[in-house]
């Protein structure tokens, strides 16, 4: 088990920081490399655990992955035919492994993937992905924890409407559709998260034909081949919000660089409502939180709404904003995992169904905490930063 010992601070953080490339942009882009015969170069790569796991997954499938951590670059080359099995040991540690299904199906007409199962955020079904593949002409069956998918005659263009916006569902269906034969594919009610737009942009630069014909509707005309290119991934809006929140928690001042402020429109509106001073430029955000802050009411929703990934971070911040704040989580069923740990630090949070009521306190105190997923961990770390000495342990 890993452990952090954090000494909280009354001093406001000060400084400026460059934001890394977006993990959730990097993962689908890496998976999409399966579609290419040429080399794909991805720049501005954040070398976090999931990215390394995706490197391992691509290597297990037969890709050659060259890493330069110093230059933040990954090069992926596919000299040989891929293996068509996505193994359990890799998908069980990183749910984004399901993103290999779409490109494998598109290029090889079949694949076999371990079922991803649930995760720390609650049940994580992939029925939208599978029903979408079915609409494109694939059949699937589930046997001994594996999903076998095949489209004997190759995937064919068709229409699919997502019952609910899904980020990886959208990316998977886009990747499955780039080589479809026959009529164009129309995907409706898609995710328009910046990371999905980054994937579309990358694929179009490589020769795909993906066009928006409505706010959440795209048309994809199948092509025969993609050409390998180099692409720099966008900045990570969740990391940017994490840094901004650190300044809010400590009533400090921060500038985050290399991030498009548009990716955080809803989040910045919330911070402004709370009383933070915010200045935005093309690719930076400056925040000053030295005024008295006010409580807020926030609902999470798909982009351009307030991101569910940023919710646990805001939750921690609100524990020290005097008054009653309310959060409604509308994406996942189990996203308040940091709440009981923040309560151990002295916070007042009560959860009823998907609604959290937070009564802001002046002080939090140190305690030992335990954590699970990425955002929960940062939420607790932020609580610890706003308190006296705290110990945060990570579950392995
Ligand atoms: N859903 C279904 N069926 C599906 C797919 C999704 O019912 O087939 C439901 C989910 O259960 C959930 C909702 O639809 O209630 C949205 O889930 P979505 O598919 O959008 O989530 P995801 O694609 O699995 C991505 C990010 C998550 C982020 C969510 C929501 C990646 C690799 N992961 O997950 O990021 O929380 O979108 O924005 O892009 C993180 O970075 O820490 C993280 C968990």
- Note the pLDDT tens digit of each residue in 113-141: 998 765 666 667 899 999 999 999 999 99
What is the band of 235 on the pLDDT scale with cuts at 50, 70, 90? very high
Flag whether pLDDT at 188 surpasses 70.
Answer: yes
In angstroms, what CA-CA distances link 253 with 63, 171, 275? 44, 36, 13
- The more confident residue out of 182 and 396 is 182
The answer to whether residue 393 is catalytic is no
pLDDT, averaged across the chain: 94
Q: Average pLDDT of 185-203?
A: 98
Compute, in angstroms, the gap from residue 193 CA to the centroid of ligand 1.
11
Compute, in angstroms, the gap from residue 265 CA to the centroid of ligand 1.
20
Is the C-beta atom of 44 inside 6 A of ligand 1? no
Cβ(47)–Cβ(73) below 8 Å: no
Per-residue pLDDT of 250-267, as tens digits, reads 999 999 999 999 999 999
* Structure tokens that stand for 173 in this block: 């269906």
Which residue lies with its CA nearest to atom 25 of ligand 1?
A: 167
Q: Average pLDDT of 150-165?
A: 97
Among residues 55, 119, 369, 393, the one annotated as catalytic is: 119
Return the H-helix or E-strand segment holding 141.
strand 139-143
Give 304's contacts (C-beta < 8 A, 6+ positions apart): 192, 265, 266
Q: Average pLDDT of 317-331?
A: 97
Is the C-beta atom of 48 inside 6 A of ligand 1? no
Predicted confidence at residue 7, as pLDDT, reads 87
Is the C-beta atom of 164 inside 6 A of ligand 1? yes
């Amino acid at each position: 088990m890993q452990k952090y010992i954090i000494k909280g601070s009354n001093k406001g953080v000060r400084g400026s920081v460059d934001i890394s490339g977006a993990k959730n942009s990097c993962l689908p882009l890496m998976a999409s490399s399966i579609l290419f015969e040429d080399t794909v170069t991805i720049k501005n790569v954040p070398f976090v655990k999931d990215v390394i796991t995706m490197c391992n997954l691509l290597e297990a499938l037969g890709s050659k992955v060259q890493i330069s951590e110093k230059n933040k670059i990954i090069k992926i080359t596919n000299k040989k035919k891929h293996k068509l099995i996505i193994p359990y040991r890799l998908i069980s540690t990183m749910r984004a492994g399901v993103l290999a299904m779409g490109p494998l199906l598109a290029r090889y007409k079949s694949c076999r993937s371990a079922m991803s199962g649930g995760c720390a955020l609650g049940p994580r079904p992939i029925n939208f992905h599978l029903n979408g593949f079915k609409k494109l002409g694939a059949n699937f069956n589930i046997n001994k924890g594996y999903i076998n998918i095949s489209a004997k005659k190759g995937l064919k263009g068709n229409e699919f409407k997502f019952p609910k916006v899904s980020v990886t569902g959208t990316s998977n269906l886009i990747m499955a559709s780039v080589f479809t034969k026959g009529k164009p594919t129309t995907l409706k009610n898609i995710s328009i998260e910046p990371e999905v737009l980054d994937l579309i942009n990358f694929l179009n630069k490589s020769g795909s034909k993906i066009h928006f014909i409505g706010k959440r509707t795209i048309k994809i005309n199948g092509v025969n081949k993609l050409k390998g290119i180099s692409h720099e991934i966008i900045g990570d809006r969740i990391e940017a919000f994490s840094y901004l929140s650190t300044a809010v928690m400590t009533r400090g001042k921060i500038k985050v660089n290399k991030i498009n402020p548009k990716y955080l429109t809803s989040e910045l509106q919330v911070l402004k409502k709370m009383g933070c001073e915010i200045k935005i430029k093309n690719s930076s955000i400056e925040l000053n939180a030295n005024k008295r802050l006010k409580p807020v009411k926030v609902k999470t929703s798909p982009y351009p709404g307030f991101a569910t990934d940023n919710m646990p971070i805001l939750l921690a911040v609100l524990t020290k904003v005097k008054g009653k704040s309310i959060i409604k989580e509308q994406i996942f069923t189990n996203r308040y995992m940091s709440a009981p740990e923040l309560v151990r630090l002295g916070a007042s949070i009560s959860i009823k169904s998907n609604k959290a009521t937070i009564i802001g306190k002046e002080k939090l105190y140190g305690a030992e905490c335990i954590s699970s997923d990425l955002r929960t961990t940062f939420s607790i770390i932020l609580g610890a930063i706003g308190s006296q000495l705290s110990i945060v342990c990570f579950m392995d």
